[in-house]
Amino acid sequence: MTSTTALPTRTSRLPVAVAALSLLYGVLGVAWLLGADWYPFGPTGTDGDKVSPLAFVSQDLGAGLVAVLGVLGVPAAWGHTQTTWTPSAYRPLLLFTAAQAVVFGLLAPTMSVVIVTGYLLVLVGLPVGFGFLVAGAWRQPVTRALLLGVLALAGVVQFTTGLFDWQAFRNLGSALADVPERVGTQPLFVFGAFLLGVGWAVLGVRGLRTARGRCVDCGRPGAWWTRPEVARRWGFWATIVAVLCPMPYALLRMTWLLPNPVGLGIEASDLDADPGLKLFGLGLGLIALASGIVTLGLIRPWGEVWPRWIPFLAGRPVAIKAAVIPAASAAALLLVSSISMVQLLWLPESSVVTNVGNLLLFPFPLWGGSLAVATAAYYYRRRKSCTTCA
């Protein structure tokens, strides 16, 4: 009798979403192959813009690869909805799934995925998060005093630097209004390819678990290093590294408040001439600083129980997905951007000093890897009994 591999039917939504997005990129690949001038994976000007592996091949080859994988991805994604497979028949599907994840998740995206994410966090996440925290902190005496201290510090910054000037906000608004025209649709297609690659990667992980006879939801039975007491030890050091990685960038951005800013190729005269740039750059620094602080929650008690100053959630357990999904997404973005950064090291016009400085300032490979390990440790440490495999 031929053995079969059972696939869970409850995961059918993800294959459908992957199939739909794959079909979209199949159609787009055909359009690019026919000569559409908005092909997003090629060089956009100078050699320094070749930060995607697909940018080093011709548009015909890259577009043809996207078209073929996109069209074939529809039946492949549908194959993940089937309830039974023989191991010999399932193996080619897993290999094809891995190829899809590599092309769309690693070869197509560029550093623009993490850049776009950072900009959205500054424009949307920073004001929403600040308002959310203010609403919760004002309800507690201790955090209320801390909040008043933060507001006093903001007042000092305004008095000494004039940072929060109406002209700065006007300049920032004007610059943001010109972004769609200057950037175009390229970041959208790149980010969509990244999402498609992530979808294929999740399907591959779930399928590989099933092929190995493990629970599709939790991966049990797992190796010895996945036990909570073991994961706590190696996860601690990975978390510390992930917390420290964004700090150099955050600190350099904070020097924009000083008369002589340090690094990043910006002069004080440039910031004085464009106060909107100064305001936005400091926002990026705050996001980097906040990301390190939030990452620390993977090993701290407030990463398991919401603190008192969080409105609506104070005192409740932190759902594992509420921490794992954002952290894993950030790790994936950083690791994908690492490929672009490593490629820049080999460009003939790049200097050794510049490359070393960029790696120290933007340690995406170390940051993404350590954050991924820290997130896995957090998951292994906190996961409860699985409702699927008990």
Assess if residue 10 is contained within a domain.
no
Token look-up 């959205």 returns 120
- Assess contact for 370 and 330: CB atoms under 8 A: no
| Residue 220: Cβ within 10 Å count | 15
> Residues with Cβ < 8 Å from 47, sequence gap 6 or more?
347, 348, 349
DSSP, residue by residue, 257-279: GSSS--STT--HHHHHH-HHHHH
Full domain range(s) for residue 322: 115-182+223-382
Assess if residue 45 is contained within a domain.
yes
Same domain, 139 and 57: no
Residue-level pLDDT at 238: 95
Q: What are the Cα distances from residue 167, in Å, to 126, 247, 281, 284?
A: 20, 29, 16, 19
Give per-10-residue mean pLDDT for the chain (390 aa): 46 84 95 86 56 81 93 91 69 90 89 84 85 78 79 83 75 70 75 92 84 71 81 94 94 84 74 79 90 93 86 86 92 88 67 67 90 94 74
Same domain, 38 and 101: yes
Q: Between helices 352-361 and 247-254, what is the axis angle to 10°?
A: 100
Same domain, 248 and 313: yes
Residue-level pLDDT at 346: 64
Encode 168-195 in three state secondary structure.
Answer: HHHHHHHHHHCHHHHHCCHHHHHHHHHH
Q: Between helices 364-382 and 228-244, what is the axis angle to 10°?
A: 150
Cα 308 to Cα 141: distance, rounded to the nearest angstrom:
11
Same domain, 134 and 99: no
- Assess contact for 306 and 314: CB atoms under 8 A: yes
Same domain, 35 and 107: yes
Same domain, 324 and 268: yes
β-bridge mates for residue 317, sequence order: 305
Residue-level pLDDT at 261: 81
Assess if residue 216 is contained within a domain.
no
Give how many domains the chain has, as a whole number. Answer: 2
Same domain, 204 and 285: no
**pTM greater than 0.95:** no
